[in-house]
Structure 1
Amino acid sequence: MRADFYLIAKPRFRDEPLLLVCELAKKACAAGQPMLVLARDMAQAERLDDLLWSFEPDAYIPHEIAGTGFDDGEDGDGEADVLIAPPEIDAPLRPLLLNLRDAPVDGAFQRVLEVVPADPSAREPLRERWKQYKARGFTLNKYDM
């Protein structure tokens, strides 16, 4: 298993961290890797849903908020390439996760992406998360964005 930490540095991402999530979703989509985004709350899920429609004029990223019923199968897991799950929706894990929540992810998956805020005071919890993933035997990577 692998954990990739993306440290926000560029002004574009500092001003709107969810734009980095959009970029990562676009890359996953282009690579044919369905992604589950674990949103912090419904407001964040809705903001990300809006941004995925508008962040790049020529990009189309098939996405949906889990449990909305738009593209849900019988089990409630949509077929969209990017499935956004607020905490109140229990969406099945996918091999590729992007975690925007406050705790590390447990369960069966291959890779987790963590977005690290530009604010130094907000980085401490993610340092702890790094240690937790390391203790679980994950391969760890850090990228400056």
Structure 2
Amino acid sequence: MTHATFYILEDTHLAADSDYQLHFACHQAAWSYQQGQKVYILAESKDQAEQIDEYLWQQEPDNFVPHNLIGEGTRGGSPVEIGWQGLRHTGRRNVLINLSPDAPNFAVTFAQVIDFVPCDEKLKQLARERYKAYRLNGIQLQTTAAPETP
């Protein structure tokens, strides 16, 4: 059964770091990789996917996370794959980190889904719609506050 965790982002997160959601998503990907899990990050757009890719490349060598954009790298993809809507991820993966505004219809193929509830009211409403879509697909849901520092 698929489980989804929605991390609630507060104004204080965004005040401290305008890209907090992206950084937190990357830290979640790194943590999952360290736990031996394969991760798919679904970005909102190709530009956002490239931004995530660049962020992961800038990590210290001790914290390096093998990753690639969809279509790059080896045939089966690296442990962390980054894509955007309209593309299909490669192979079986354990964790989906969703940064897109919609609930992907393939979320049920993952053991764990990580999603976010931003503080902006318009984005918060989109998160509510994703929550409903996941629930309709039988995904077990929980919400929790995002930590102050990822």
Q: Which TM-score band (shorter chain)?
A: 0.7 to 0.9
Aligned residues of 2:37 and 2:93 also touching (Cα < 8 A): no
- Number of matched residues? 139
In the TM superposition, what whole-angstrom CA distance separates every residue of 1:62-99 from its partner, at most 9, and x where no partner exists?
Answer: 1110112xx221xxx31x11100123432235221111
Aligned residue in 2 for 1:72: 74
TM superposition outliers: structure 1 runs of 4+ over 3 Å:
11-14, 55-58
Compute the TM-score of the two structures, normalised by the length of structure 1.
0.84
Tell me which protein shows more helix as a share of its residues. Answer: 2
Q: CA 1:56/1:13 → structure 2, altered by over 3 Å: closer, same or farther?
A: farther
User: What amino acid does structure 1 have at the position aligned with 2:142?
Assistant: N
Structure 1 residue runs without a partner (length 5+): none
SS of 2:105 mapped into structure 1: coil
> Does residue 92 of structure 2 align to residue 85 of structure 1?
no
SS of 1:15 mapped into structure 2: coil
Partners of 2:104 and 2:16 in 1: how far apart?
23
Q: CA 1:14/1:6 → structure 2, altered by over 3 Å: closer, same or farther?
A: farther
Compute the TM-score of the two structures, normalised by the length of structure 2.
0.81
Structure 2 residue runs without a partner (length 5+): none
Q: CA deviation at 1:12?
A: 6.7
Task: Give identity over the alignment, percent.
Answer: 29
Q: CA RMSD in A?
A: 2.0
Aligned residue in 1 for 2:145: 144
Partners of 2:118 and 2:60 in 1: how far apart?
22
